Amino acid sequence: MLKGKIVKALSGFYYVQDGNSVYPCKGRGNFRKRKITPLVGDNVSFEMDENEEGYILDIDERQNELVRPPIANIDQAMIVASVVEPEFRTILMDRFLVLIESKNITPMIVLTKTDLVDDEELEKLESYKEDYEKLGYTVIVGSSKEEDGLLGITPYLEGKTTVIAGQSGVGKSSMLNALKPHLDLETNDISKSLGRGKHTTRHVELIEMYGGLIADTPGFSSLEFQDLEYDELPDCFPEMREHGEYCKFRGCLHNKEPKCAVKAAVEEGEIPSYRYEHYLQFLEEIQNRKPRY
């Protein structure tokens, strides 16, 4: 029996890497009976038969998994956001951060297309960068079109499995091409009439890059909080984890409760007001969510 990691899933085949070799494999029929689907990122046991056809026999326990995109055992998520085209929106960034935090994946933020903005916009961007860095997030700012513009990312890739997240059109594939030019991933210019990009990545694949594995995926097709309960939301905001310890009531939702340390921190300017506003919006969204049957 051989051991390896699934690095690509395409047309019913799972491509398993063992050392320097990659083997196309199929899943055993009992996976279907047990309602288990092998995912890119899975560590698996497999075998090759006399016809050099591979079969996955077993899947190791996962440290985490995402449904959209379908991938497992992720160490960190790189949230890519453009400064313009489409413009940077903190509410979208915070939505991505919450979804990633809820899966116990470490987020980092990459802001692209800085070559397309003036000094005033860059100053505003620097302010947001400082806000997110104070929360403990790593923030990289640069442009795929400038030489060495995004090389600040590379030290964070070593020894990690990284998934890329971000709305369509922000330059995820362009960034990967800039980091590893011979990849030549398909990119589409943004459609100005729609203000958003076309999906250009159609399957999930782990690519070796700078001593780690990076996932070029179709992106997060759903940004809804379907799997998150309202009382879990505060734990997805680092500033609320920190200040929430000092609230008077255990289980404080930092909304209408008295003597709330989080609300006090917002009033004192220790927590950016837009972060708190987004938290309240997300809380209301989850509390008003229709139950799934």
48: left (phi over 0), alpha (psi -120 to 50) or beta: beta
pTM: 0.83
Q: Which of 11-20, 22-31, 211-220, 233-242 has the lowest mean pLDDT?
A: 211-220
Where is 46: in which H helix or E strand? strand 43-48
Closest CA to 137 of 112, 169, 174, 111: 111
Q: What is the pLDDT of residue 199?
A: 41
CA–CA gap between residue 176 and residue 186 (Å, rounded):
10
Q: For residue 134, what are its two tokens?
A: 């104070």
Rounded-to-integer distance, Cα 271 and Cα 265, Å? 6
Q: How far is CA 115 from the centre of its chain?
A: 24
Residues with Cβ < 8 Å from 200, sequence gap 6 or more? 173, 185, 186, 187, 188
- Residues belonging to the binding site for Zn(2+) are 247, 252, 254, 260
H-type alpha helices, the chain: 29-33, 90-101, 119-134, 172-179, 238-244, 261-267, 273-287
Contacts of 146 (CB under 8 A, 6+ apart): 114, 115
Give tens-digit pLDDT for 241-273: 999 999 999 999 999 999 999 999 999 999 999
Helix, strand, coil percentages, rounded to 5, for the chain = 30, 25, 45
User: Over the stretch 189-221, which tens digit does the pLDDT of each residue have?
Assistant: 433 333 444 444 457 889 888 899 988 665 565
User: Could you report the per-residue pLDDT of 92-114, keeping only the tens digit for each?
Assistant: 999 999 999 998 899 999 988 88
The pLDDT score that the predictor gives to residue 217 is 63
How are beta strands 65-66 and 21-27 bridged, if at all? unpaired
Please give the backbone phi and psi of residue 279, each rounded to the nearest 5 degrees, phi first.
-60, -45
Phi-psi region of 259 (alpha: psi -120 to 50; beta: other; left: phi over 0): left
Q: Which residues are annotated as a binding site?
A: 112-115, 166-174, 247, 252, 254, 260
8 A C-beta contact, residue 212 and residue 158: yes
**Annotated binding site for GTP, which residues?**
112-115, 166-174
| Residue scoring higher pLDDT (148 or 77) | 77
Q: Using 50, 70 and 90 to split pLDDT, how confident is the model at 132?
A: very high
Domains in the chain (CATH in brackets) are 2-61 (2.40.50.140), 71-215 (3.40.50.300), 230-287 (1.10.40.50)
* CA nearest neighbour of 264 among 237, 231, 240, 233: 240
